[in-house]
Each structure stands twice: as C-alpha cells, then as structure tokens.
Amino acid sequence: MVKARRVGHATFETPDLEKAIAYYGEFMGLIVAEREKDRAFLATKIGQLVIELNKADRAHCIKLAFEVAPNSDFGELARELSKDGVRSELRNDSVPGMGQVLSFKDDKGTTIDLFKDWSYLAKHAQVAGVGPLKLGHVAFFTPDIQRTVAFYERVLGFRVSDWIGDFFCFMRCNTDHHTVNFFTGSDVKLHHIAFELKDFMHLENSCDVMGQKQIPIIWGPLRHGPGHNVATYHRNPDDQVVEFFCELDQMKDEELGYFEPRPWHRDRVGPLAGGGFPPDAVTPRGATHNPGKHATGARPAFRLACRARATSGKARGRQARSRRTDKKPRACRRDSFAAPAAAIQVSAIRADRADIRSDGPAGSRRRQAFGPNCRRGTARRRD
C-alpha cells in the first residue's frame, strides 16, 4: 500500500494566468520559481514548490502531489496500485525540482502524483505579502464521500481524523490533523485550499495584508472544532475559497491514538472556542449541499476583527502597550474587513489566551468534536 507522507503542491487551471500569478506573488507572498508561456510554478519563501498554475478555460484544481518515503520503489507501488484496479504511469521531469513521479487518478478523477525526490526551487528570500509556511490541506466536494474516503484509506494510506455528520470527513497522512478534506456535493470541485501560517501573530498580520489589498475576509478569525485550528477565509481572483490557519492539532504518536493535548480542546474552556458552520459566503459557488440542515445545536462561530491598517513597527508597538483589555469593543473602521457587530479587540483575545492554564495531558486525552451531530474522530488509543 502507498503511504503518502505529506502534500507537496496543488495544480490549478486558471483562465487568467497573469491575475493568478499576481495574487499568489504580490498578496500571498509566494515566489515565481519558474515561468513558461501558459504555466507557472510558485514556491514558498524557503523555496518549496506549493502551487502550479496552468492556463485553461476554467478555474479548477486538477492535481495533488504527495511525497512518499525516499526508499520507495515506484515499480512495486505501481503493482500495488494495479491490484486495487488503479492504472498508473511513470513520468520524468514533469515538474521542476522533481525527478520521476508515479501518476494516477483517484476515484473522483483528480490526478495524483507521487514523488520521492525533490529540491528547492529558489533560495530563501524575504517576500512581501502573507508568506505562508506551507500548503496545509486541500478540500474537495465529492458525490460519493464514502467511496472517496475508502479510496484514500486503502490506496494512499490516509487515516480518518474526524467526521462531521456523514457528509464532511477530515483525513491525515502525517502528524497534522488533516491534509485532505472531503465534503458531500453533487459535483467534483474544490471546496477550499489552506495554507499554514506560523502562529496567531502571523495570522493577524495576514489580516492586515488583506485589509491593505482590499481583500474581504468572508469568515473568521475563529477557532474550528475538528482540528482546533485558528483560521480565516477569503476568495482568490478565481472565486475559490482560500484559508489561512495556525495551531492545527497534532497526532504526535499514532500508537497512543490521541492528538496532542491543548488547553482549548472542547473538554475545557478556551479562547475563540467556536465552531458551527460557515456562512453562505464561504460555500463555493454552485454548491448544492447545505450543511446547515445538519447543524442542529451547533454553536455559531465566535468571530473577532483585527483593524486592517498598515502601521510602522514603532507605531504598532505603541498601540500594543497602550491597549486595555477592559474596554468595550470598538466598531471597525470603514476600511476594515469585518462588520462592526463582530468587532472584538485582538488584545482581549490575547489576554484570554495568556490566562489559559493546563492541568496536564491526562484531562485532555479525550478530544471531542464540535456539535451534537459531529462524531468523534476514529483515532483511538490502542490498549
């Protein structure tokens, strides 16, 4: 069986290649590592490939690349895939920085490339824009979620981390709580793509960048239930939903069978303890599935608003020293990204975070998913 270790990069078709490159470069803070007439490869500031863009008639995610162990034998993996009825082929030099890849299609028609050798596409560089650490996860709509989940378990070695009802599954291939997500829908299409940021401060800075670039935040910041990551959502020029996140749950030891205890897990009160289902603005255009009908009793998202304005480092420091957490939330400025009713000062959130104390891992081993219709993750401690 193939054992995927991490997601390497995602390949997107886009009708406006120049606009997409500008978004990923100027706003996202990725480096254009290589450029062809109808194709571009973008890497993080440390040089890892994360996005491939191809000019086409429509906007669509057509391929995911997963890294496998360096001692993997592609011939043996091809034979294993064949036993599962999956046809595969070896390709050479299809992507810069990679040698041979084993390519095939998953059950819903998305191309999967397996690679084991790679190199940095660019030197470490200071970048403008958000500057994410890595591609975190990719979520798709699929008509038959049980079949898709079974394929990724059986063929690619993924494990189920969480379910929301029977229509939204979170799957992992390494310590991260999820690397791929699947959502029940009538057609195969992208649900969202997510990039990991360093920490909460990095997430706040990304909100400032969105304010400067006049990119509205359509959901968040909030802390999710499954995965417990803090996240924001916006749309890219191709109208696809993009997530920035940090503080995702980690499964450090599969044998223990539980995620690393965190003070904000649902069995203890913590900051941004929210969840619920996203507003309609986050649902990809044309989606037919309405998760709200499954959301009985789910709590609404606990949102906060960061004022989106550019300030110098000194001014930002003065503001931080002068903030008081006992003040009432102020309405957002006209150019901020959130509605005034949702405005909660970041300083108050930070104060809540600083007050959290954990009494050790024993009380947090039993992690809970959010909402009465959200089943527990299938990861269990092995006796």
| More confident site: 275 or 126 | 126
According to DSSP, residue 186 is labeled: S
Q: Give percent above pLDDT 70 in the chain.
A: 68
Ordered by where they begin, the domains of the chain are 6-120+132-267 (3.10.180.10)
Strand partners, 304: none
Q: What is the pLDDT of residue 95?
A: 85
Residue 152 has pLDDT above 90, yes or no: yes
Contact yes or no for 234/217 (Cβ under 8 A): yes
Burial state string for 79-89 with b = 16 or more CB within 10 A and e = fewer than 16? eebeeeebebe
Q: What is the β-pairing status of strands 134-142 and 189-196?
A: antiparallel
| Distance (Å, whole) CA 245 – CA 58 | 27
Contact assessment for residue 49 and residue 8, using Cβ atoms and an 8 Å cutoff:
yes
State the pLDDT confidence band at 59, using cuts at 50, 70 and 90: very high
Q: Tell me the CA end-to-end span of the chain in Å, nearest whole number.
A: 25
Q: How confident is the model at residue 332 (pLDDT cuts 50, 70, 90)?
A: very low
| Cα distance between residue 357 and residue 250, in whole Å | 19
> Is residue 265 scored above 60 in pLDDT?
no
Q: Are strands 159-164 and 168-172 parallel, antiparallel or unpaired?
A: antiparallel
Q: Note the pLDDT of residue 126.
A: 80
Q: Write out pLDDT tens, residues 176-202.
A: 999 999 999 999 999 999 999 999 999
Q: What local confidence, expressed as pLDDT, does residue 280 receive?
A: 65
- Contact in structure between 52 and 11 (CB atoms under 8 Å): yes
What mean pLDDT value characterizes the chain? 77
